[in-house]
């Protein structure tokens, strides 16, 4: 049975734990924070009903999480270690150097980092740097299938292959980047959209709620099914993407040149925070999260049944 070890069990780590336990994996975890074990077990318990709706492996048990009081005990014998600690390069370098010292060459060491690149924390792994990679999930990992996988300058392609296989067996939708880049793929795409979203609010073109409505009830619906390229291709009818770019390429380029350059000044941050508060109104945040997750479950279940969709 594949053994996945989780180093750090905050929101990402605990969600990872639930996802792997639901697929019948052996899962160990550690986190030095006070009360971390109780919090992790409670999070797995809370996530479990959603996973049962999506389908869990026969015999899968939310109580099977193996808690270790130290790093060595957590990662001993693991096939894949997923580090979910602070987004600080000094921490990553230190923890990966220690994990490199504590494990054999067949244990894949991966970070869940959103912005750091594997070459940045791989350099201090002097024993077996080839098995050090990145495996970035999208939150919450127990519901959202995407995992971005990429190696650093010293990564062994075989380690990336094994990580892709393990993640696919866990029900994830892993994609493998051809080279490392700051923010990977999805976060860079999000950042591009946020730049213009913030600009539109800053310039008084739209409210925060207007922007959310525009995406949630417009292109976001189609992007969730096909992504940007296939969505654009289908909009061109039988002639496809070539037709779209021939006719709408020039005006699209004109919009690119007109996109805003925005800075997160205190004034803009205040405007965005106030706009979100106005948009939420008196709706309890936990109920909004529950509603989001319920629709995510249904969407993931529907998409998994459609082989023609990406």
- In CATH, what number is assigned to the domain containing residue 289? 1.10.1040.10
182: left (phi over 0), alpha (psi -120 to 50) or beta: beta
Checking 208-212 for CB contacts under 8 A at 24+ apart, the result is 208/272, 208/275, 208/276, 208/278, 208/279, 209/275, 209/278, 209/279, 212/279
Number of domains in the chain: 2
Both 155 and 93 in one domain: the answer is yes
Both 141 and 201 in one domain: the answer is no
Tell me the pTM: 0.94
pLDDT tens by residue, 107-139: 999 999 999 999 999 999 999 999 999 999 999
Residue 89 tokens read as 């390069």
- Domain-embedded: residue 181: no
pLDDT tens by residue, 4-63: 999 999 999 999 999 999 999 999 999 999 999 999 999 999 999 999 999 999 999 999
Both 155 and 221 in one domain: the answer is no
pLDDT value for 270? 98
Both 221 and 273 in one domain: the answer is yes
Both 211 and 232 in one domain: the answer is yes
Q: Of 157, 176, 195, which residue constitutes the final position of a domain? A: 176
Both 8 and 149 in one domain: the answer is yes
- Domain-embedded: residue 140: yes
Confidence tier at 188 by pLDDT (50, 70, 90): very high
Both 17 and 139 in one domain: the answer is yes
Both 268 and 147 in one domain: the answer is no
Q: Of 154, 176, 198, which residue constitutes the final position of a domain? A: 176
Summary mean pLDDT of the chain: 96
Both 195 and 126 in one domain: the answer is no
Q: DSSP for 164-193, please give it.
A: HHHHHHTT-EEEE-SS--TTTTHHHHHHHH
pLDDT value for 252? 95
Both 126 and 196 in one domain: the answer is no
Q: Of 176, 201, 217, which residue constitutes the final position of a domain? A: 176
Domain at 41, CATH number = 3.40.50.720
pLDDT value for 1? 86
Both 149 and 277 in one domain: the answer is no
Q: Which domain holds residue 132?
A: 3-176
- Domain-embedded: residue 309: no
Both 47 and 27 in one domain: the answer is yes
């Amino acid at each position: 049975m594949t053994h996945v070890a989780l180093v750090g069990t905050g929101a990402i780590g605990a969600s990872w734990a639930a996802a792997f336990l639901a697929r019948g994996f052996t899962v160990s975890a550690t986190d030095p924070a006070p009360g971390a074990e109780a919090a992790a077990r409670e999070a797995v318990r809370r996530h479990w009903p959603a996973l049962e709706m999506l389908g869990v492996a026969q015999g899968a048990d939310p109580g099977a999480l193996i808690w270790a009081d130290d790093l060595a005990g957590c990662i001993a014998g693991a096939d894949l270690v997923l580090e979910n600690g602070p987004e600080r390069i000094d921490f990553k370098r230190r923890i990966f150097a220690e994990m490199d010292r504590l494990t054999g060459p067949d244990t894949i060491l991966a970070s869940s980092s959103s912005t750091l690149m594997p070459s940045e924390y791989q350099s201090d792994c002097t024993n077996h740097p080839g098995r050090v990679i990145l495996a970035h999930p999208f939150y919450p990992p127990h519901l959202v299938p995407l995992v971005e996988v990429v190696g650093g300058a010293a990564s062994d392609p075989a380690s990336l292959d094994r990580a892709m296989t393990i993640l696919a067996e866990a029900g994830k939708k892993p994609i493998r980047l051809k080279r490392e880049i700051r923010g990977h793929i999805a976060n860079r795409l999000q950042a591009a959209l946020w730049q213009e979203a913030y600009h539109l609010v800053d310039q008084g073109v739209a409210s925060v709620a207007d922007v959310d409505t525009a995406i949630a009830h417009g292109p976001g619906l189609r992007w969730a099914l096909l992504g940007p390229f296939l969505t654009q291709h289908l909009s061109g009818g039988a002639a496809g993407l070539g037709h779209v770019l021939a006719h709408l390429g020039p005006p699209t380029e004109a919009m690119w040149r007109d996109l805003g350059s925005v800075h997160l000044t205190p004034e803009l941050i205040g405007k965005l925070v106030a706009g979100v508060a106005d948009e939420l109104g008196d709706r309890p945040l936990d109920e909004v999260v529950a509603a989001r997750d319920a629709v995510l479950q249904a969407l993931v279940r529907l998409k998994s049944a459609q082989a023609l969709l990406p």
